Amino acid sequence: MPPRVNFIFISCILVFLVLLYFLVSNLNGNTIPRPKISYRHLVHSIETDRLVDLVSSTLSYRLSPGNICHDESFDHLGIILISSYVTHDDLRSAHRRALPQEDLKSLGLVRFFLLAEIPVQETTITQLAIEGENKRFGDIIQGNFIDAYRNLTYKHIMGLKWATLNCSRTNFIVKMDDDTVYDAYRLRNLLQEFRLTHDDGELLLSGYVQNNQKPIRMKPSKWFVSHREFRDAIYPPYLSGWLYVTNQRTAQDLVIASQETPFFWIDDIFVTGILAKKLSIPLDRRNALYSANGDFLECCIREAAKHNFKCPYMAGPNGGDSELILRFTTGVAKCRKCKERKRSDPKLNETCVGVYKPPSGHRGAPVVKELHL
């Protein structure tokens, strides 16, 4: 066989063997190791003046914090982004009183609130008041779109984009709602765990995983989703908007993917469900750290004071009580030396007695209550 023909024959055999290896690997459920790459090159792919499908007008910020993310005085472990409706100054105040920015910095964290422009129907707050709030605390990021329930996806992506472009030194990004109660000390420990176990270039989405959730097709519901908006019968698995953790690399991937994905208005489903599925990002399930009932968080406070039991939960909704974040943070701070429950100890959901208090309507959600005439 001539040398040239022999070379071509051997090359074909090698290509066949490589293809056979990949085929057998996939059939066995094995995956090829993802190469470790630096995420910082992705910043150049983010369109700074675009927000999902808002292309008719460029994205700009009515308010944007200063250079707090360049401060050398803290660890830059994580940035907390709290989605807040413009009139929820009481909730923002409760978060600030529970954990001032300086206290968060001592934990390696820094916090910002995500707002948008005041809707015309809101008369209880003015732009001047929001600017005064930001002048005092310097922690508001306000986009130039209307603050509305169906605009939450814009606010969500705006926060991730701002964090990746302005706070790239922080290892992790924590996204949460303003009516969420959380244990900042336990959150810090979780982020430190991630820093030890996850590489910068590794994809990360961690929180309360929601599975097999169906779109609500009843028009009277505030959650009504038409078939035109979402065709499938079941949403992809996604993380609850209460609180989830991601990193810089993943946030940048999500922002870039949002620029080329059809808009969907339920933000946690769009970002941590639709986009995560598109990017094949696995969801890290930490459901045991969350309470769906604010009453359990109240019981945590009482049990810490009476029985020195640590709270099993890191986060959960406030049940309509804006001051719960303050009481909970004070309670867990006093319980640093509290004991863990033993197998023989009663569980919190067996000893906690209370009536579930549904959260009041906000961000466009209707409030239904009895009217006394």
Query: Which of 59, 120, 73 minimizes the C-alpha distance to 101?
Result: 73
Write down the pLDDT at residue 36: 35
Q: Which residues of 169-195 are buried (b: 16+ CB within 10 A; e: fewer)?
A: ebbbbbbbbbbbbbbbbbbbebbbebb
Question: In the CATH hierarchy, which fold is given to the domain comprising 61-289?
Answer: Spore Coat Polysaccharide Biosynthesis Protein SpsA; Chain A (3.90.550)
pLDDT for the residue numbered 49: 62
pTM summary value: 0.81
> For helices 184-197 and 324-333, what crossing angle results, to 10°?
70
Residue 173 φ/ψ, nearest 5 degrees: -120, 125
Alpha-carbon distance of 288 to 231, in angstroms, equals 31
Start and end residues for every CATH 3.90.550.60 domain found in the chain? 61-289
63-86: b (≥16 Cβ within 10 Å) or e: bebeebbeeeebbbbbbbbbbbbb
Query: Distance (Å, rounded) from C-alpha 257 to C-alpha 22?
Result: 27
Taking only the tens of pLDDT, the chain with its 373 residues reads 555 545 555 566 665 665 555 454 444 433 333 333 334 444 556 666 667 766 555 778 899 987 788 888 788 999 999 999 999 999 999 999 999 999 999 999 999 999 999 999 999 999 999 999 999 999 999 999 999 999 999 999 999 999 999 999 999 999 999 999 999 999 999 999 999 998 878 999 999 999 999 999 998 888 899 999 999 999 999 999 999 999 999 999 999 999 999 999 999 999 999 999 999 999 999 999 999 888 899 998 888 888 888 899 999 999 999 999 999 999 988 887 788 877 777 778 777 865 544 444 334 444 444 444 3
